[in-house]
Amino acid sequence: MIESEERDSSLKQLAEICRISSSIRSLPSLKQKFQDFELSPDEDIDPVVRSSIEKELHQIQGSQTMERARHYINMLRKSLEQDLSQDFSGLNLKLWKGYDHIYTDSLWTLGSRARGENHKAWYWGNFVPQIPFQLISRYTSSGGWVLDPFCGSGTTVVEALKLGRNALGVELNPDVYAKTGETIDGIDGMNGAVSHLVNADSAKYDFPSFVHEKHLDGFELAIMHPPYWDIIQFSTDTADFSNAHSVEDFTKRLKKLTEKILKAMKPKGHIALVIGDMYRNGEIIPLGFRSMDALSSTGLKLRGIIVKDIQNTRAKRNSESLWRYRALKSGFYVFKHEYVFVFRVP
Ligand SMILES: C[S@@+](CC[C@H](N)C(=O)[O-])C[C@H]1O[C@@H](n2cnc3c(N)ncnc32)[C@H](O)[C@@H]1O
């Protein structure tokens, strides 16, 4: 008898939680938020907003007691009464449950190259779009500016435009610059985002003047993906970082360039360095960590050491067993990772 009363009472509570959960979906404040975002109540809801609110509702529905359910409802009410617009970091923490697609772990297994009509894998030495996507989504705000001083095929610029961020790309090689220009010209930036592509030596380019002429308060993010010293020689130009005379010369150039870029960064902005290590004369040169030290010595604050996987191209996949044989024979390990170092501007 007592058991069945308890069960009835639990069922009543559950029914009440479900009723509250479904009625909260039609709360005027929720509808207002959708209108603030110029969204219709159903299809056009920003995926982050939708996912965050869905998760909150799910939590309410899954509450074991009425007290817990009320607590979650109050929290949801409070968050809906606040401003849902993005802050400088690019993320709105009131919607943090909607950011499943943003990585917060230091190990990135990116898998195969994200495909899209604007990303053509014509450039040997490019990085996967997921890298700039993660960094731009996390460290820039809508309408902010991103800098890529080693622009290459423009992966950063394309991702920036797709995310509604403006971008400046600097590329030394005139042929690469011309080809990248063709790709970028065909892209309509989200929310009117624009890009500038410059054919220049980044070490000589006047970043502060660009910021000044455009009336900006600085770049929110710079993504540096330099040549990994001379592993791939990108040109015969002596200004090309792949033609540095030694590791010391390479890291010195990197430090000088970072100091220049720093003068054009927004305070509390971010600089990310994407780089890998190398073998030379039978030993590892930890180019990643040496470069990380070079950037740290400029006064930047190191905020993240991310290890990302290297996805092999088809050509490399075919020679995988050869590399494995060589590794077994010589006692070394085949590189399967690179780094993304994230720094914060003071
Ligand atoms: C590793 S690639 C960058 C690839 C790029 N992230 C992409 O996805 O296409 C390095 C690029 O830096 C360029 N580069 C080298 N030295 C440079 C310099 N001093 N100024 C500007 N670009 C430079 C090279 O021509 C090359 O295109």
**Predicted confidence band of residue 58 (pLDDT cuts 50, 70, 90):** confident
pLDDT score of 11 more than 70? no
pLDDT value for 40: 47
Instruction: Please report the pLDDT score of residue 85 as a whole number.
Output: 47
Ligand 1 center–CA 303 separation, angstroms: 24
Interval 256-295: pLDDT, tens: 999 999 999 999 999 999 999 999 999 999 999 999 999 9
Residue 168 CB: number of other CB atoms within 10 A? 27
Residues 6+ apart with CB under 8 A from 66: 13, 16, 17
Q: Look up the CATH number of the domain holding residue 299.
A: 3.40.50.150
Domain count, the chain: 2
Distance of alpha carbon 204 from alpha carbon 5, whole angstroms: 80
Average pLDDT over residues 112-126: 68
Protein residue closest via CA to atom 26 of ligand 1: 152
**Measured in angstroms, how far is the CA atom of residue 316 from the centroid of ligand 1?**
22
Answer yes or no: do 287 and 216 share one domain: yes
193 and 47 share one domain:
no
The length of the chain is 346
Q: What is the pLDDT of residues 320-343, one digit of tens each?
A: 888 899 999 999 999 999 999 999
Domain match, 285 and 330 both: yes
Q: What is the pTM of this model?
A: 0.81
Q: Which domain holds residue 302?
A: 107-344
Q: Are residues 191 and 209 in the same domain?
A: yes
Last residue of a domain, one of 48, 77, 98: 98
Same domain? 93 vs 137: no
Query: Is the pLDDT higher at 44 or at 23?
Result: 23
Distance 150 CA to ligand 1 centre (A): 4
Asked which of 98, 117, 135 is the last residue of a domain, the reply is 98
Q: Which position has the token pair 């180019």?
A: 287
17 shares its domain with 59: yes
